[in-house]
Amino acid sequence: MMDARQLCLGATDLNEHDDASIAPIVEGVLAGDRTVLARTITLIESSNLEHRRRAEMVLQELLPHTGGARRVGITGVPGVGKSTFIDQFGVDLTERGHQVAVLAVDPTSSRSGGSILGDKTRMARLAVDPAAFIRPSPAGRTLGGVTRATRETILVCEAAGFDVVLVETVGVGQSETVVADMVDFFLVLMLSGAGDDLQGIKKGVLELADMVVVNKADGDNVNRAKLAAADYRAALHLMSPASPTWSPPVLTCSALDDVGLDEIWGQIEVHREKMGATGELSARRADQQVRWMWSMLDERLRDDLRSLPAVTRRLGELERSVRDGERAATVAVDVVWDLYVRERQAGA
């Protein structure tokens, strides 16, 4: 019988194996085998229907072993130093005895479809840390640049024994909203010069934040960072907190000098303790699971719609007519939906 490593390395040939063959994969993940873990995530990310079916079976078996990690989302404006922050923050956590998984979503080119996947270069120390696992995943064209399988990957990493999962957003579009809806704690990194920054950021990002941290508070920039933090505190003060239990703190740090990161982790732990005591943490995760279910249903319906030849033949024409102002978008939707319903009823 194949061991888990051999089976996962042969993921492209999964059709040759019966359902019992998922057992070595599950065992390999639970044993913390990094090769099996990486190949399992590849299986989850596959668009092949058979691979996705097997991935669902694996996830179902792993589900009782999930849920124990601190799930932390990290976003930030361009140039804020996310990679340096995550690299240093992750190293600090592994030195404390934690097992850290970093799920870094790479932006995919809308023209070429290519992705840099350079996270292990950007996080050089964490990449060679035996207590850490970095998974760069191409974002593709999903909402906000967040890979479709990120939620499933969180579960697999938890089952593999990682007690801290850091999810880095690409920092564009609606990725912040999507990531905030799959983590327990959402950390927003900012730069000094808050007057300009406050004009350039969306109010919605601050509303999502469980903590705001002004990075690069080092050298001649310390005072500017403190002033920026005061401005962010004032901005947050004008907003109603999402939870009666937690008011988002605003801190400063220097990832480069490893200053202030201990306090950041301390606040994350305090947040977990408080939200856990009131039941808000479990309620938040439960709500996320239900929204995840609906998002997957939405995706499956979209894929099913595009799989019907009669629909796909009309889509190009309808898109052109909407783009040229010849047809209202609502009318085009009605045409597509009627086609979809007729085709599905005909095939029933």
Q: What is the CATH number of the domain that holds 206?
A: 3.40.50.300
**What's the order of all strands across the beta sheet hosting 250-252?**
132-138, 100-106, 164-168, 70-76, 185-190, 211-214, 250-252
Percentage above 90 pLDDT, the chain = 58
Which SS3 state, helix, strand or coil, does residue 124 take? Answer: helix
Q: Read off the pLDDT band of 193 (50, 70, 90).
A: low
183 and 218 fall within a common domain: yes
263 and 317 fall within a common domain: no
User: Where is average pLDDT lowest: 148-157, 163-172, 187-196?
Assistant: 187-196
* Domain-ending residue, one of 232, 256, 278: 278
Dihedral class, residue 259 (left if φ above 0, else alpha if ψ from -120 to 50, else beta): beta
Q: What is the mean pLDDT of residues 182-191?
A: 93
Q: Give the predicted TM-score (pTM) of the model.
A: 0.84
96 and 245 fall within a common domain: yes
Counted residue by residue, the chain has a size of 348
Domain containing 134 equals 66-278
**Beta-bridge partner residues of 174:** none
**Beta-bridge partner residues of 72:** 166, 185
| Cβ neighbours, 10 Å, residue 333 | 12
What is the Cα–Cα distance from 285 to 322, expressed in whole angstroms? 39
**Beta-bridge partner residues of 324:** none
Amino acid sitting at position 129:
D
28 and 107 fall within a common domain: no
212 and 292 fall within a common domain: no
The residue to which tokens 């179902």 are assigned = 60
**Residue 38 belongs to domain with CATH number:** 1.20.5.170
124 and 57 fall within a common domain: no
User: Where is average pLDDT lowest: 70-74, 75-79, 275-279, 330-334?
Assistant: 75-79
pLDDT of residue 19: 57
What is the Cα–Cα distance from 101 to 157, expressed in whole angstroms? 7
16 and 125 fall within a common domain: no
Q: pLDDT tens across 161-183, in order?
A: 999 999 988 765 567 788 888 99
pLDDT of residue 13: 43
**Would you say 16 and 5 are in contact if contact means Cβ atoms under 8 Å apart?**
no
For residue 200, what are the contacts with CB-CB under 8 A and spacing of at least 6? 77
Tokens representing 328 are 């209202």
Tokens representing 53 are 């079916």
- C-alpha of 42 from chain center: 16
314 and 193 fall within a common domain: no
Q: pLDDT tens across 82-139, in order?
A: 989 999 999 999 999 999 999 986 554 333 343 344 455 678 899 999 999 999 766 5
**Residue 325 belongs to domain with CATH number:** 1.10.287
* Domain-ending residue, one of 219, 244, 278: 278
10 and 109 fall within a common domain: no
17 and 124 fall within a common domain: no
117 and 259 fall within a common domain: yes
Angle subtended at Cα 145 by Cα 141 and Cα 150, rounded to the nearest 5 degrees: 105
pLDDT of residue 116: 42
What is the Cα–Cα distance from 254 to 90, expressed in whole angstroms? 14
200 and 274 fall within a common domain: yes
Q: pLDDT tens across 135-152, in order?
A: 976 655 554 335 568 889
* Domain-ending residue, one of 21, 37, 64: 64
Q: How far is CA 198 from CA 38, 162, 191, 332, in A?
A: 39, 35, 10, 39
Q: What is the mean pLDDT of residues 34-55?
A: 90
Number of structural domains (the chain) is: 3
What is the Cα–Cα distance from 269 to 271, expressed in whole angstroms? 5
**Would you say 127 and 90 are in contact if contact means Cβ atoms under 8 Å apart?**
no
**Would you say 168 and 105 are in contact if contact means Cβ atoms under 8 Å apart?**
yes
**Mean pLDDT over the full length of the chain:** 84
Q: How far is CA 29 from CA 14, 62, 66, 70, 112, in A?
A: 17, 8, 12, 19, 33
The residue to which tokens 């967040």 are assigned = 146
What is the full DSSP assignment across 171-239?
A: -STTHHHHHHTT-SEEEEEE-S-HHHHHHHS-HHHHHH-SEEEE----GGGHHHHHHHHHHHHHHHHTS
Which SS3 state, helix, strand or coil, does residue 248 take? Answer: coil
